[in-house]
Amino acid sequence: MTNCPTLIVMVGLPARGKTYISKKLTRYLNWIGVPTKEFNVGQYRRDLVKKYKSFEFFLPDNEEGLKIRKQCALAALNDVRQYLSEENGHVAVFDATNTTRERRETIYKFGEENGYKTFFVESVCVDPEVIAANIVQVKLGSPDYVDCSNDEATEDFMKRIECYKNSYETLDETLDKDLSYIKIMDVGRSYLVNRVMDHIQSRIVYYLMNIHVTPRSIYLCRHGESELNLKGRIGGDPGLSVRGKEFAKSLAQFINEQNIKDLKVWTSQMKRTIQTAEALGVPYEQWKVLNEIDAGVCEEMTYEEIQENYPLEFALRDQDKYRYRYPKGESYEDLVQRLEPVIMELERQENVLVICHQAVMRCLLAYFLDKPAEQLPYLKCPLHTVLKLTPVAYGCKVESIFLNVEAVNTHRDKPEVRIFFKLEDLMLVPPGTALIPC
Amino acid sequence: MTNCPTLIVMVGLPARGKTYISKKLTRYLNWIGVPTKEFNVGQYRRDLVKKYKSFEFFLPDNEEGLKIRKQCALAALNDVRQYLSEENGHVAVFDATNTTRERRETIYKFGEENGYKTFFVESVCVDPEVIAANIVQVKLGSPDYVDCSNDEATEDFMKRIECYKNSYETLDETLDKDLSYIKIMDVGRSYLVNRVMDHIQSRIVYYLMNIHVTPRSIYLCRHGESELNLKGRIGGDPGLSVRGKEFAKSLAQFINEQNIKDLKVWTSQMKRTIQTAEALGVPYEQWKVLNEIDAGVCEEMTYEEIQENYPLEFALRDQDKYRYRYPKGESYEDLVQRLEPVIMELERQENVLVICHQAVMRCLLAYFLDKPAEQLPYLKCPLHTVLKLTPVAYGKCSGEAFKTHFILLENKLCLNK
């Protein structure tokens, strides 16, 4: 997808959501398979200057402060270079204020010298309420203010913002007309987009234009226990078991008690999720892309049958469960690609309940909880359990609610697999097999 | 996807690409399953005033002209209302200059009264070269100028543009801050996007930000004949037959001869397209979403076997081939949904060769040639045939239409499905 690496440069006064955007964008890009890393210059400063004293560090005439800040920016850029040019990173997000044209030119030149495409993301906001809310959410708990009262911290931080204001040069339609950038205004009310150069920049712009900060919760759960679950068989399109139907009723009760404003309900196009949703007695939307992973030739088999009939496939899957594709079926990696529009729409929406399937739920959960590909296929998503995800500060709070209706356990942990030969030699064997190592 | 209908309102001086955008957007939305129709006020004017005389019709003080033009706008809006409120249309594209704030307020009120969400699309361009090129491409051949020489037509049209300029009020960041709109500047160099309200507006913005007007060609073909094609069986993941391999070589030769600048080659992740691409000796990208339609329980059967084993399914498919989904498989409608990212990336790219499959190629072709769902599953996409699609504006209607060259590679006989 990317030929040359992309350097994303955040721009904006403090408390404008730069780090929020950096982290979220990084999480999204990694989830869709684009290796991305963020570099927060403030963190470099905290590592260098062990104890933060006051806003005076950021005064424009504080020579010592300026020296240290420049040193940190250069150290971060050096790590960017190492990540993009030596560690196979595709995208680096350089998270700092970068509020002067001079600083941005330095970074742009750095990008050019190293063969990176540079894309600026500026967040502009003048609404004092938004800024005050940001300070409460993410600054009061910062390591910088660990020994301060909230009032002291807020007062100091407001003065910190002032230090930047005089020299702030916003991205300008005329002066910066040759740069590639998106300017986000008032937390997404409007956007100015200039010179999008390639596919990845176009995807980044689309993503940034769809996210919002309105408080809301996302509820994820699987369908109620199905007839095939009871038999230990995977896939298929079975209906709910007796306990599964009880779960559906409990879910309806739970949703009612939660009293959620304007809840949207989404299901897959498989019977078991639709039957679960039906019990709620509210409108719901069916998405084919929420269907469970296609197990191809292994559909409706038990794990024992798979191991017996397709022992090699079975072992290969355990070796790389994320990338392994069932013959005539799908991999988790395929799932992520088909679920991307769901994630995009979840970002646009507010309160949503998604009734889906084990593998699908693992993919969605990995996105919200920033779990890497190796862990994704092993995330625990038991039946009859609702996960309530609520965005908070830079991350996501998770509450797990078991709805007290018993169900079978469909989870398989990653087994110990001893590799005697390389995968290319197709000699992967499950444990317990006697073999002479090569 | 849409709760209340959406009214898209084009804004801009003449020759800024409004009709081009209207038609392209309408084609895209219909293809992804959102019933959309465009309403070109100029066309209403041509139907009412049989013969166009000169730019003087558009002079700001021409009372008769103003009266007719307002009448046409209202007639078009009335048809919009009928389409959205009575005919189950989801999106209407109102294609006119709409260059004054007053006119846009009238339309906005119309939208509000009828429960539509209004979204403005403005095209702003000051580059004289772009405007001159637009005039050559779509205006000289317009019915308005059928009896004029090119020079006469150009001169008259430039004066027509002038008629609008004095009263032109572009969408303003402050004055129009409560409206939902996208302002496209310099044919897509930059965009100003304000207050995107819902999913469909977000998709429209994404689409508009990905299209371009750089000349290029898209080549579509199927894999070479496969072993299962030879046996009259559908689906599966077979390799190429002997003749299929010959086709791959012919394709390589054809591509070389065409001398295409920076050609990208895409295949599916099935053996038969990959083997075809391998013969080209150039890098190619594999897309899983380009895989052939999944025939579910009917995979690798012959049509006779399907008719024998699944007679009801077989009949149902013929009844509504677009929406019919094979048991444990897919429908053409599903295919379109999974091919949407391919279309989006094709819009972004320039010269591309897509080596795919019959049902997939039908879906892509239907997008480019604006074929409706009923016709899509019956589009002819024979083996060993390359379709070269080059965007070119026809004289009589602006917007994008494709010249198709059917290139049969030598005399390769192939099995028709």
Q: Mind listing the pLDDT tens digit of every residue in chain A (438 residues)?
A: 347 999 999 999 999 999 999 999 999 999 999 999 999 999 999 999 989 999 999 999 999 999 999 999 999 999 999 999 999 999 999 999 999 999 999 999 999 999 999 999 999 999 999 999 999 988 888 999 998 999 999 999 999 999 999 999 999 999 999 999 999 999 999 999 999 999 999 999 999 999 999 999 999 999 999 999 999 999 999 999 999 999 999 999 999 999 999 999 999 999 999 999 999 999 999 999 999 999 999 999 999 999 999 999 999 999 999 999 999 999 999 999 999 999 999 999 999 999 999 999 999 999 999 999 999 999 999 999 999 999 998 899 999 999 999 999 999 998 876 555 555 555 445 555 544 443
Nearest to A191 among B193, B299, B345 (CB): B193
Q: Is residue B219 within 8 Å of B386, Cβ to Cβ?
A: yes
Verify whether the Cβ–Cβ distance A194 to B194 is below 8 Å.
Answer: no
- Tell me the pTM: 0.92
pLDDT tens by residue, B165-202:
999 999 999 999 999 999 999 999 999 999 999 999 99
End-to-end CA distance of chain A: 38
Q: In terms of DSSP H, where are the helices of B173-310?
A: 199-208, 227-230, 242-258, 271-278, 303-309
Structure-model confidence comparison of residues B43 and B414, the more confident one: B43
What is the structure's pLDDT at B396?
28
How would you classify the pairing of strands A218-222 and A385-392? antiparallel
Q: How far apart are CA B223 and CA B238, in angstroms?
A: 11
pLDDT, residue A241, reads 98
Q: What is the DSSP string of A306-374?
A: HHHH-HHHHHHHHHSTTT---TTS--HHHHHHHHHHHHHHHHH-SSEEEEE-HHHHHHHHHHHHT--TT
| CA atoms of B328 and A251, how far apart (whole Å) | 28
From chain A, pick out residues whose CB is under 8 angstroms from the CB of B199.
345, 348
What is the token pair recorded at A283? 């409108």
pLDDT score, position A415: 84
Q: What is the pLDDT of residues B343-392, one digit of tens each?
A: 999 999 999 999 999 999 999 999 999 999 999 999 999 999 999 998 87
- Predicted local distance difference test score (pLDDT) of residue B415: 35
The Cα–Cα gap between A131 and B95 comes to: 41
Q: What's the confidence (pLDDT) of residue B407?
A: 53
User: Which residues does chain B have within 8 Å of residue A175's beta carbon, measured at their own beta carbons?
Assistant: none
What number of other Cβ atoms are within 10 A of residue A51's Cβ? 9
- In chain B, what residues touch A338 (CB-CB under 8 Å)? 338
- Closest Cα of chain A to B120: distance in Å? 14
Of A38, A292, A313, A340, which residue is the catalytic one? Answer: A292
Q: What is the pLDDT of residues B294-330, one digit of tens each?
A: 999 999 999 999 999 999 999 999 999 999 999 999 9
What's the whole-number mean pLDDT along residues B24-36? Answer: 97
The percentage of chain B sitting over the pLDDT mark of 70, rounded to a whole number, equals: 94
Instruction: Identify the pLDDT of residue A416.
Output: 76
Complex ipTM: 0.91
B340 φ, ψ to 5°?
-55, -45
Q: What is the DSSP string of B34-65?
A: --EEEEEHHHHHHHHSSS---GGGG-TT-HHH
Cβ atoms of A123 and A184 within 8 Å: the answer is yes
The tokens describing A179, both together, are: 């740069």
The pLDDT of residue B140 is above 90: no
The answer to whether the CB atoms of B194 and A190 lie below 8 A apart is: yes
Residue B352 · residue B264 · CB < 8 Å: yes
A153 contacts: CB under 8 Å, gap ≥ 6? A135, A139, A140, A142, A144, A145
| A209 contacts chain B (CB < 8 A) | yes
A194 annotated to a ligand binding site: no
Give the up-direction half-sphere exposure of residue A330: CA atoms within 13 A in the CB hemisphere: 20
Q: What is the mean pLDDT of residues B105-134?
A: 96
DSSP class of residue A431 equals T
Residues of A with Cβ-Cβ distance to B287 under 8 angstroms = none
Would you say residue B101 has pLDDT above 80?
yes
Residue-level pLDDT at A393: 84
> Cα(first)–Cα(last) distance of chain B, in Å?
35
Q: Does A286 touch chain B (CB under 8 A)?
A: no
| Interchain contact, B190 vs A195, CB within 8 Å | yes
**Neighbour tally for B12: CB within 10 Å:** 24
